[in-house]
Amino acid sequence: AQKVTQAQTEISVVEKEDVTLDCVYETRDTTYYLFWYKQPPSGELVFLIRRNSFDEQNEISGRYSWNFQKSTSSFNFTITASQVVDSAVYFCALSGVTDSWGKLQFGAGTQVVVTP
């Protein structure tokens, strides 16, 4: 079975600090996708990034960066110079080929609180 672990329940930072969210996954699939989603207080789920299992390149998008390490089954997410608008719950998710392609297994989520 697939599993996604986000061990950090809540992280509180002051604006302009960096924050790193951990995500560890388990899967028997050799082909799979990893995702990060943001859920602000309004409740909608905003897609941030998709990474496939064959692409271990790290990615940077503005203040966001992602570190995918297959050797440790981790897909960590860093927000640089955090802002109040980054306050949200962030979910890591996994989709594999064995357990019905397209079905997402979500982690528990990490609440990020950014204070001015």
Partner 1 sequence: SAVISQKPSRDICQRGTSLTIQCQVDSQVTMMFWYRQQPGQSLTLIATANQGSEATYESGFVIDKFPISRPNLTFSTLTVSNMSPEDSSIYLCSCRVSTDTQYFGPGTRLTVL
Which residues sit at the interface with partner 1, rule CB under 8 A?
33, 35, 37, 42-45, 47, 50, 52, 91, 95, 100-104, 106-109
Contact between 45 and 60 under an 8 Å Cβ cutoff? The reply is: no
CB 9, min distance to partner 1, A: 10
Residue (79 or 109) nearer to partner 1, CB: 109
Residues 32 and 83: their CA atoms lie apart, in Å, by 32
Residue (69 or 101) nearer to partner 1, CB: 101
Contact between 92 and 77 under an 8 Å Cβ cutoff? The reply is: yes
Residue (15 or 56) nearer to partner 1, CB: 56
HEC per residue, 54-112: CCCCCEEECCEEEEEEHHHCEEEEEECCCCHHHCEEEEEEEEECCCCCCCCEECCCEEE
Size of the chain, expressed as the number of residues it contains = 116
CB 106, min distance to partner 1, A: 5
CB 95, min distance to partner 1, A: 7
CB 35, min distance to partner 1, A: 7
Residue (17 or 99) nearer to partner 1, CB: 99
